[in-house]
């Protein structure tokens, strides 16, 4: 919403923005819920027969924002019908604040749409038309969202890849493996090296940094990036906080093509690792909490370094294990990120998690 200045006016029920995520509620004329479609990246991915009530146990201060009745309208054009409609609705959204004096919420629930009303109207002319109202809007509709399939919900796309399936698919992507091997070989090099990439045409763009840093210079949407940390140069054994912060920066700059396919990687003298966004809402909150200001960035860097020190000096871990544990501790269970560790020949990416002060494998389906 922030990207579009909190306006959804340019969306149509049968033509949604590519970055539209949420739910469409389908009801009968009496307001009874028929089913819902979950929308990801502007496409329907799952159909639900109804909603289960969810109770909140939060002790935080909560405020509810409401729309003015009937102030949202969108034009709808059915796929095989020249008629057009106006749809209006109301909405509300619960936002949570740490205290009553707080001016910025730390989390907001998804907006809930209700009181949906549909009224048939004359269709506007096509672009460049004669103005007689024939033909309807010139936008090509998505037949999966048209009025004529409201009652069926049958036109559902395959769900996007999960972090686990994406990690498995990378094992068979020859270009990914070849270029990742390049950064593995470069761990012993004199400068850092990396790649940005797009899966649509499997293009990998090489980036060369300095002895102690690399600027991937992402100025347009990508499906991910990976780079190496040089050995014996005081570099971290896994992803560091600057790497995690750059994932967040890539997201807020709108330079991620598809969250479901986005992945980042790092190669060090201790191993190879991937980070994958598993929960975008959790990741957005984690990023805003830890990477939105210079002071916050310095704080999470210090926390990461402190945890590495605890692992080495208090738990007796080696550099590799101490850094892995520190990374998982700082990310916690609410960062929305999943960590994978690869074997030496890239034949397996194993999901990892923290249990107390131990690093264990986690199931990946």
Mean pLDDT of 214-232: 89
In order of 33, 99, 119, 337, the CA distances from 333 in angstroms are: 34, 24, 46, 8
Contact 49, 152 (CB under 8 A): no
Using alpha carbons, select from 184, 183, 264 the residue that is nearest to residue 222: 264
Which tens digit of pLDDT belongs to each residue from 165-175? 777 778 878 88
How far is Cα 339 from Cα 325, in angstroms, rounded to an integer? 11
- Report pLDDT for 121: 55
How far is Cα 180 from Cα 55, in angstroms, rounded to an integer? 45
Contact 50, 138 (CB under 8 A): no
Contact 269, 192 (CB under 8 A): no
Return the beta strands (E) in the chain as ranges.
Answer: 22-27, 33-40, 43-48, 61-66, 72-76, 84-97, 107-108, 112-121, 193-198, 203-208, 224-228, 263-268, 271-277, 337-342, 349-355, 358-361
Give the DSSP letter of residue 149: G
CB environment 238-265: b (16+ within 10 A), e (fewer):
bbbbebbbbbbebbeeebbbbbbbbbbb
- Report pLDDT for 357: 86
Highest mean pLDDT among 32-41, 71-80, 142-151, 327-336: 327-336
pLDDT band at 53 (very low <50, low <70, confident <90, very high): very low
Global pTM value:
0.57
Instruction: Check residues 351 and 163 and name the one with the higher pLDDT.
Output: 351
How far is Cα 320 from Cα 238, in angstroms, rounded to an integer? 8
Q: Are strands 203-208 and 112-121 parallel, antiparallel or unpaired?
A: unpaired
Q: Residue 141 corresponds to which tokens in the numbers above?
A: 């509709």
Mean pLDDT of 312-335: 93
**Residue 27: how many CA atoms within 13 Å on its side-chain side?**
16
Mean pLDDT of 204-210: 91
Mean pLDDT of 204-220: 89
Q: Residue 166 corresponds to which tokens in the numbers above?
A: 């994406």
Instruction: Check residues 113 and 329 and name the one with the higher pLDDT.
Output: 329
Q: Residue 112 corresponds to which tokens in the numbers above?
A: 């809930």
Please report the DSSP string for 76-88 in residue order.
E--TT---EEEEE
Which tens digit of pLDDT belongs to each residue from 179-197? 999 999 999 888 899 999 9
Q: Are strands 224-228 and 263-268 parallel, antiparallel or unpaired?
A: parallel
Helix (H, G, I), strand (E, B) or coil at 320: helix
Using alpha carbons, select from 310, 27, 266 the residue that is nearest to residue 302: 310
């Amino acid at each position: 919403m922030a990207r579009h200045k909190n306006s959804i006016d340019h969306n149509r029920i049968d033509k949604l923005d590519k970055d539209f995520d949420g739910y469409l509620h389908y009801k009968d004329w009496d307001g009874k819920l028929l089913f819902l479609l979950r929308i990801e990246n502007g496409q329907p991915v799952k159909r639900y027969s109804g909603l289960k009530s969810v109770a909140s146990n939060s002790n935080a201060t909560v405020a509810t924002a409401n729309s003015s009745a009937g102030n949202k309208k969108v034009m709808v054009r059915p796929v095989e019908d020249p008629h057009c409609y106006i749809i209006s609705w109301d909405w509300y959204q619960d936002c949570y604040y740490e205290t009553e004096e707080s001016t910025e919420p730390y989390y907001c629930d998804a907006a809930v749409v209700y009181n949906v009303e549909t009224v048939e109207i004359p269709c506007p002319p096509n672009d460049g038309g004669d103005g007689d109202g024939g033909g309807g809007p010139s936008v090509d509709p998505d037949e999966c969202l048209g009025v004529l399939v409201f009652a069926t919900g049958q036109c559902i796309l395959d769900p996007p890849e999960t972090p686990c399936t994406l990690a498995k698919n990378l094992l068979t992507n020859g270009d990914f493996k070849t270029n990742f091997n390049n950064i593995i070989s470069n761990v012993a090099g004199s400068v850092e090296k990396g790649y940005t990439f797009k899966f649509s045409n499997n293009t990998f763009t090489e980036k060369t940094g300095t002895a102690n840093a690399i600027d991937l210079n992402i100025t347009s949407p990508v499906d991910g990036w990976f780079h190496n940390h040089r050995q014996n140069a005081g570099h971290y054994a896994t992803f560091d906080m600057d790497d995690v912060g750059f994932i967040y920066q890539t997201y807020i700059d709108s330079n991620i093509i598809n969250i479901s396919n986005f992945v980042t990687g790092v190669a060090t003298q201790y191993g190879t690792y991937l980070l994958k966004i598993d929960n975008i809402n959790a990741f957005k909150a984690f990023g805003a909490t830890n990477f939105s200001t210079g002071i916050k960035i310095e704080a999470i860097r210090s926390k990461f370094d402190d945890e590495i020190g605890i692992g080495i000096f208090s738990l007796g871990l080696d550099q590799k294990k101490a850094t892995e544990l520190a990374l998982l501790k700082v990310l916690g269970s609410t960062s929305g990120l999943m960590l994978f560790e690869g074997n030496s020949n890239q034949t397996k990416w194993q999901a990892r998690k923290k249990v107390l002060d131990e690093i264990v494998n986690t199931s990946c389906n």
